[in-house]
């Protein structure tokens, strides 16, 4: 499934899994569930052309919510091998790679694809930080794999310790949807912090003071800071924020993304955005991607961390192309 992303901190999404289960308050308005419901309906109406959308029928129950099953989308596994243009890829925007029902063997296959495509930068994000920590030693961490945990209130702060205990080369925090203050964060060993407010119907409020405090903690700790969005216009204290309106050519439209008169779009130290402009997504993703008939291997596959063996990614995928779906984030 072609996967241009509207998420400001990534370029495209890769979804070798479908389905999830709510684990904390950040899941309440889960976008992935809403999108999965939509895809499942589309698949039910046109089963003959459903393609990968048919997987979403397996994970949405009669009540329109997650049925707590996980679908392993084998045919999606090798998508990044076909994406020639180096991209920043959010892994599993529609699920959580470390969900309890995802076998370690499948997680290793996802990591194997990431190993084989060092031209891409991968952003893996989980709320299952304990399971991440449990498997850490078996995962082949490479510099192109960024590992993050979501934290929405102080109740989830222990996820940061689990992340810190891993061998991931780049560790990041997604403090979104930000649902409460997060004072006194331990940012030791953390390479990047993202935050933002909830958007969409039923979105909960975010206080500007929470955002400023996180920004100030990052500045003091010299940790790159990325402010994604206010979520709702009412959260934005600046009535004149020009980014609050512009949806084309640089604006998020989700309440704006300027904080005290500037855009905070820092990225991990030593990593270059190149020509990528985080808040001008529309013209970026998928432009140069071309479908190639076989798996591509990008040079030597060495793993520098524990668990360095390369897992089998076979069977390699079917080559069916499908309609483009814009994904927002779930985890
Ligand atoms: S996809 Fe993410 S937000 Fe949605 S239920 Fe799973 S963990 Fe929660």
* Strand pairing category for 71-72 and 88-91: unpaired
Provide, rounded to the nearest whole percent, the portion of the chain with pLDDT above 70.
81
Confidence of residue 106 (pLDDT cuts 50, 70, 90): very high
pTM of the model: 0.85
Task: Report how far residue 19's alpha carbon sits from residue 301's, in angstroms, rounded to the nearest whole number.
Answer: 30
The torsion angle over the Cα atoms of residues 61, 107, 144 and 82, rounded to 10 degrees, is: -70
Confidence of residue 94 (pLDDT cuts 50, 70, 90): very high
State pLDDT tens for residues 11-44.
Answer: 999 999 999 999 999 999 999 999 999 999 999 9
Distances (CA, A) of 1 to 4, 83, 169, 177, 279: 10, 12, 28, 26, 23
Tokens of 294: 């076989």
Confidence of residue 248 (pLDDT cuts 50, 70, 90): low
Averaged pLDDT of the chain: 85
Please state which CATH number belongs to domain 72-263.
3.80.30
For ligand 1, atom 3, the nearest C-alpha belongs to 27
The answer, yes or no, to whether residue 257 has pLDDT greater than 90, is: yes
CA of 126, closest atom in ligand 1: 7
Ranges 135-144, 206-215, 241-250, 255-264: which has the least confidence: 241-250
The predicted structure's pLDDT at residue 290 = 28
Confidence of residue 115 (pLDDT cuts 50, 70, 90): very high
- Centre of ligand 1 to C-alpha 235, Å, is 23
In this structure, is the dihedral angle defined by the CA atoms of residues 248, 253, 259 and 261, taken in order, positive or negative?
positive
The answer, yes or no, to whether residue 301 has pLDDT greater than 50, is: no
| Mean pLDDT (whole number) for 253-257 | 86
- Centre of ligand 1 to C-alpha 51, Å, is 23
The predicted structure's pLDDT at residue 203 = 96
Task: Report how far residue 140's alpha carbon sits from residue 185's, in angstroms, rounded to the nearest whole number.
Answer: 28
The predicted structure's pLDDT at residue 253 = 62
The predicted structure's pLDDT at residue 246 = 56
CA of 22, closest atom in ligand 1: 5
The answer, yes or no, to whether residue 157 has pLDDT greater than 70, is: yes
Distances (CA, A) of 203 to 5, 38, 206, 211, 254: 20, 19, 9, 16, 11
Higher pLDDT, 135 or 287: 135
| Mean pLDDT (whole number) for 51-55 | 96
State pLDDT tens for residues 203-243.
Answer: 999 999 999 999 999 999 999 999 999 999 999 999 999 99
For ligand 1, atom 5, the nearest C-alpha belongs to 22
Ligand 1: which of 15, 17, 19, 20 to mutate, most ligand atoms within 8 Å of CB?
Answer: 20
Confidence of residue 245 (pLDDT cuts 50, 70, 90): confident
Ligand 1: which of 15, 130, 152, 330 to mutate, most ligand atoms within 8 Å of CB?
Answer: 330
The answer, yes or no, to whether residue 78 has pLDDT greater than 70, is: yes
The predicted structure's pLDDT at residue 110 = 98
Q: Where are the domains of the chain?
A: 72-263
The predicted structure's pLDDT at residue 281 = 52
Tell me, using a 6 A CB cutoff, whether residue 95 lines ligand 1: yes
Neighbours of 91 (CB within 10 A): 26
Distances (CA, A) of 82 to 47, 118, 289: 26, 13, 7
């Amino acid at each position: 499934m072609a996967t241009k992303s509207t998420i400001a901190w990534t370029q495209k999404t890769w979804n070798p899994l479908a389905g999830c289960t709510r684990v904390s308050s950040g899941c309440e308005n889960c976008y992935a569930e809403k999108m999965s419901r939509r895809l499942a309906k589309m698949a039910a109406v046109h089963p003959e052309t459903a393609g990968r959308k048919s997987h979403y029928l397996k994970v949405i129950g009669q009540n329109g919510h997650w049925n707590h099953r996980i679908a392993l989308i084998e045919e999606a596994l090798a998508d990044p091998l076909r994406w020639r243009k180096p991209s920043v890829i959010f892994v599993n925007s529609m699920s959580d790679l470390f969900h309890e029902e995802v076998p370690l063997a499948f997680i290793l296959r996802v990591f194997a694809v990431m190993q084989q495509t060092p031209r891409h930068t991968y952003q893996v994000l989980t709320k299952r930080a304990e399971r991440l920590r449990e498997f850490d030693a078996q995962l082949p961490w490479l510099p192109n794999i960024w590992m993050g945990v979501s934290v929405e209130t102080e109740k989830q702060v222990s996820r940061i310790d689990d992340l810190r205990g891993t061998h991931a080369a780049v560790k990041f925090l997604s403090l979104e949807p930000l649902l409460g203050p997060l004072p006194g964060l331990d940012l030791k060993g953390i390479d990047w912090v993202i935050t933002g407010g909830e958007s969409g119907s039923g979105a909960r409020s975010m206080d500007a003071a929470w955002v400023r405090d996180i920004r100030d903690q990052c500045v003091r700790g010299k940790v790159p800071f990325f402010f994604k969005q206010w979520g709702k216009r009412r959260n934005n204290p600046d009535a004149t924020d020009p980014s609050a309106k512009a949806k084309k050519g640089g604006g998020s439209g989700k309440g704006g993304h300027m904080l005290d008169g500037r855009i905070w779009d820092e990225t991990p130290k030593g990593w270059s955005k190149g020509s990528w402009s985080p808040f001008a997504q529309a013209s970026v993703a998928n432009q140069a991607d071309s479908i190639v008939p076989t798996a591509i291997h990008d040079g030597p596959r060495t793993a520098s961390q524990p668990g360095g063996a390369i897992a089998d990614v076979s069977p390699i995928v079917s080559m069916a192309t499908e309609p483009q779906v814009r994904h927002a984030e779930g985890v």
